[in-house]
Chain A
Amino acid sequence: MINSKRLLLLLAAWPLYAQAAAVQAPHIEAELIAENSALTVGDNWVALRLKPEPGWHVYWQNPGDSGLATQLSWTLPPGISAGAIEWPYPHMEKLGELTNYGYSEETLHLVPLTVGADFAGAQAELQAQAKWLVCKDVCIPGQADLSLSLPVSDPARSDPRWAAAFARARAQLPQAVDWPARFSVADGHFSLELTANELAEARHIELFPLAGDLVAHAAPQRLARDGKTLRLSQAVSPYFAQPPEAVDAVLVVEGETTRAFQIRALPGTVAAVTEPAPAAAGGDISLLLVLGFALLGGLILNLMPCVFPVLSLKALAVMQGGQDPDHDHRAHALSYTAGVVLSCVAVAGALLLLRAGGQALGWGFQLQSPVFVAALVYVMFALGLSLSGVLDFGTGLMGVGQSLTQKKGLGGSFFTGVLATVVASPCTAPFMGTALGYAVTQPAPLALLVFATLGLGLALPFLVLGFVPALARLLPRPGAWMETFKQAMAFPLYLTAVWLLWVLSHQSSADAAALAGIGLVLIGFALWLWRRPGVLAASLRYAALAAALALLAHPLMRATEPAPAVASGHEAWSSARVAELRAEGRTIFVNFTADWCITCKANERIALGSSRVLEAMRDKNVAWLTADWTREDPAITAELARFGRNGVPLYLVYVRGDEPRVLPQLLTPDLIIEALQ
């Protein structure tokens, strides 16, 4: 059977089984190998073995953002045919801002090889040209003409050199499955939903679509799992044209073992997953640290000007209660804490719900709504009036009033807590920005936990006061002075109301502020009527209150289009403008602010407005950009998120167009001048 020519060839090709040579190309080794030492008639496995040097990689069939899939073209004797490469599942290779799909380890690119019964001969000469792109930070295209000579015999013995490698490679081949799977593309996001038992125990899941223009490869994959059902969303590729008839993809599921599945999804309706997966957004900041920041931030909030008027009321209540043996300090402290924590969680819940609905919002978002601001003006004014003595405390309109006089007014303490949270929202304290910025990128339960901790921090001083009577005894003795103090406290509240009216006039219009002013008169009228007897007075006061509330629904109470409300010498912020100025190498100062943000206003008055700072800015030809978040602005919300923030203020300095540096939330002139150097 073996002719002399073949014999010579075989002798030359010692040892007698498979013959091939690995080709050393720059940064990679390539070789054609077979699973068995001989081919048999029927199905066989061969493979292109690629082994990049450490740090280098080659590409999967969809290479991702850059790169090229490895190609193999065969030259085979008659009677033998090769299939396409069966790709083991790839890995994500992150390279700066790009993400590629490929292999950095030795990888067998498996190819099914069929030997027909009509194949004549005892030895098969297999030839293939392989082309690849091997990359580290730079890329080198390579190619090699590879050959493999194998006897054709029966039965086949496995080749001990490669048996294990083939077994491993086959375990890495995605298993074709027909799991029910749907996909949709909406609002710039690709979303997939699929159900399978294999998903229930998964620790980590990654999706690799076969099409290169479906998803933005570097964008995070957001997962939501409910038992056996997985939803996954990822931003669509900038090169995405239109939804395909079906999406083919490889799903890599890490559990006890790592397995890959070849799935096919058909068009359908899938709700997008909006919260990033914990692993993707976790960053290098631990939850415990964040909770610490939240607690500290909440505690410091007590010192911020926003909360002061309300806290003074609470202080009064504590002093009052201090004299009363029946007064249950603990119960009041707990009700107050419950009020603060629950309203923090409620605000956070609303925030998360609205964000899930696709709105770009952040801390203090409620103050971006003119109706809310106007309503807050009413509340401040009504509280002020009650402190001034217009309204009888005992009649129970104001929860806070109750807590001042009624022994059992736990509801009052609770609502003082609610109010403290509501008025605290225009302030952010140091440590708080980091905590809240982290919180909103987390799954809902974690986010709510962070907000609840913030509330606990805010409530902490009075909680401690309630539980440590010795501390309460340090407070001044109650007496006639308290009535005077109480009345005096009305004035900070009136000032707060005036400030909020000013915010409203900026946010909406002078007309809206005037409407709110009319509402205040109506409220004053209603409260004045409160103690008057008779049906007429009762109906009038309710009518006045209803009218005041109706004014809130007036069409004028809406945010107007952002006017160029930027101070002279400043420019409005946009990411494009920043890029432009950076390209020019200018030093840039960006002030993320809002009219309703007291911390921002304080910084602008004390630090940014100081003549030394202005002089330094002029000297260094600093471009001063203002990002005004008084109204909703998704671009600003997105930029805040980029810096891990969820609220204002945020101060950035780009020295001579360099990378941005984040300044603290409480500024001093020296700090700014130093940062500009």
Chain B
Amino acid sequence: MHRLIPILSLALCIAAPGAHAAAKVGEPAPAFSAVDSHGKNVSLGDFKGKYVVLEWTNDGCPFVKKHYGAGNMQATQKDAAAQGAVWLSVISSKPGAQGHVDGKGANKLSKDRGATPTHVLLDEKGDVGRLYDAKTTPHMFIVDPDGTLIYNGAIDSVPSSDPADIKDATNYVKVALAEARAGKPVSTAVTKPYGCSVKY
């Protein structure tokens, strides 16, 4: 009988499903809530029924400067707004690190740059960033109205810090939003983001 026990227990151990991954295209986007630059609590769940674009940003990062300096990010925000999408800029720089700002600083940045995000989320602990495994600034995500993640990756197809490259690049966020809105599957749903490391 003693000998039987290990055999029985070995024979009947049930296969385990795979461990869950943080943010995966095609799966529900991880829920989060964070405080925005006006001190308001914002949750992903607040925007059910709308497309949500998440943009990781850091105003000191040359790659972010490339896209804001050339007006590309602002144009992408306007394009998203025109499609009825919510735009959340997330700042995950820890205090003291490049790009870390308080609410006032974040609002001033938006004003100075002519940026029009729906909210700027202050994520100085990096929780939302880690939840999405945001690696670079910029790093873009799109959540569809059902809460499913439909895009994860770079802002566009030419990894460089040179604004001159923007005109020849495919803007993945614009393309993905347009495709999804037209009821088509997103043709390029996962790309490797490029930019500065997120300053966790």
Contact = CB atoms under 8 A, between A and B. Distances in A.
Nearest to B24: A238
Contact of B2 (A137, A415, A549): A415
A141 B130 contact: no
Nearest to B159: A68
Interface in B106-136: 123, 125, 127-128, 130-131, 133, 135-136
Interface string B156-199: 00011110000000000000000000000000001111111111
Contact of B9 (A67, A372, A379, A657): A372
Given A97-B200, A371-B8, A239 B16 contact: no
B16 A549 contact: no
Interface in B1-41: 1-2, 4-6, 8-10, 12-21, 24, 30-34, 41
A418 B4 CA distance: 12
Nearest to A577: B31
A133 to B, nearest CB: 6
B32 A580 contact: yes
A579 B127 contact: yes
Interface in A361-417: 361, 365-366, 368-369, 371-372, 375-376, 378-379, 382, 397, 399, 415
Contacts of B152: 238-239
A111 B34 CA distance: 50
Contact of B136 (A65, A141, A350): A65
B195 A376 contact: no
A66 B196 contact: yes
A372 B152 CA distance: 44
Contacts of B63: 139
B136 A638 contact: no
B8 A213 contact: no
A96 interface: yes
Contacts of A141: 62, 161-162
Given A65-B197, A68-B161, A582 B9 contact: no
B97 interface: yes
Contact of A583 (B12, B34, B200): B34
Interface residues of A, number: 67
B9 A369 contact: yes
Contact of B19 (A66, A100, A418, A638): A638
B194 A66 contact: yes
Nearest to A368: B13
A442 B76 CA distance: 49
Contacts of A238: 21, 24, 133, 152, 190
A356 to B, nearest CB: 13
A133 B161 contact: yes
Given A137-B97, A187-B18, A632-B14, A582 B127 contact: yes
A68 B61 CA distance: 13
A466 B100 CA distance: 66
Contacts of B6: 346-347, 350, 366
A65 B130 CA distance: 14
Interface in B25-73: 30-34, 41, 60-63
Interface in A171-218: 187-188, 212-213
A580 B45 CA distance: 12
B153 interface: yes
B74 interface: no
A422 B5 contact: yes
B190 A552 contact: no
B98 interface: yes
A576 B13 contact: no
Nearest to A397: B1
A584 B43 CA distance: 11
A138 B31 contact: no
A495 B1 CA distance: 21
Given A65-B197, A372-B5, A375-B8, A634 B136 contact: no
Contact of A212 (B32, B123, B190, B192): B192
Nearest to B12: A371
A632 B18 CA distance: 12
Contacts of A140: 62
Interface string B80-93: 00000000000000
A66 B5 contact: no
Contacts of A96: 197, 200
Interface string A557-599: 0110000000000000000100110111000000000000000
Nearest to A552: B8
Contact of B197 (A66, A359, A419, A580): A66
A95 interface: yes
A635 interface: yes
A354 interface: yes
A137 B32 contact: no
A243 to B, nearest CB: 15
B61 A139 contact: yes
B155 to A, nearest CB: 14
Interface in A90-115: 95-98, 100
A138 B2 CA distance: 62
A182 B108 CA distance: 54
Nearest to A633: B16
Contacts of B4: 375, 549
Contacts of B193: 239
Contacts of B197: 65-67, 95-96, 98, 100, 135, 137, 139
B128 A579 contact: yes
A237 interface: yes
A460 to B, nearest CB: 22
A400 to B, nearest CB: 10
Nearest to A217: B135
Contacts of B9: 350, 366, 369, 371-372, 375
Contact of B131 (A98, A131, A576): A576
Contacts of B160: 68, 131
Interface string A118-151: 0000000000000101010111110000000000
Interface string A499-511: 0000000000000
9 A-B pairs with least C-beta separation: A141-B161, A372-B9, A239-B192, A66-B197, A583-B127, A634-B19, A579-B127, A213-B192, A98-B197
30 contacts: A65-B197, A66-B136, A68-B159, A68-B160, A68-B161, A131-B162, A133-B161, A138-B61, A138-B196, A138-B199, A141-B162, A187-B18, A188-B18, A212-B192, A237-B192, A238-B152, A239-B152, A240-B190, A360-B19, A368-B13, A371-B8, A372-B8, A375-B9, A378-B1, A576-B31, A579-B127, A580-B32, A583-B127, A632-B14, A632-B16
Interface of B: 1-2, 4-6, 8-10, 12-21, 24, 30-34, 41, 60-63, 97-98, 123, 125, 127-128, 130-131, 133, 135-136, 152-153, 159-162, 190-200
Given A368-B13, A632-B16, 17 more contacts: A65-B136, A68-B160, A96-B200, A135-B197, A138-B61, A141-B62, A347-B6, A366-B9, A371-B8, A371-B9, A397-B1, A552-B8, A558-B12, A583-B33, A583-B34, A583-B128, A635-B19
Interface of A: 65-68, 95-98, 100, 131, 133, 135, 137-141, 187-188, 212-213, 237-241, 346-347, 350, 354, 358-361, 365-366, 368-369, 371-372, 375-376, 378-379, 382, 397, 399, 415, 418-419, 422, 549, 552, 558-559, 576, 579-580, 582-584, 632, 634-635, 637-638, 657
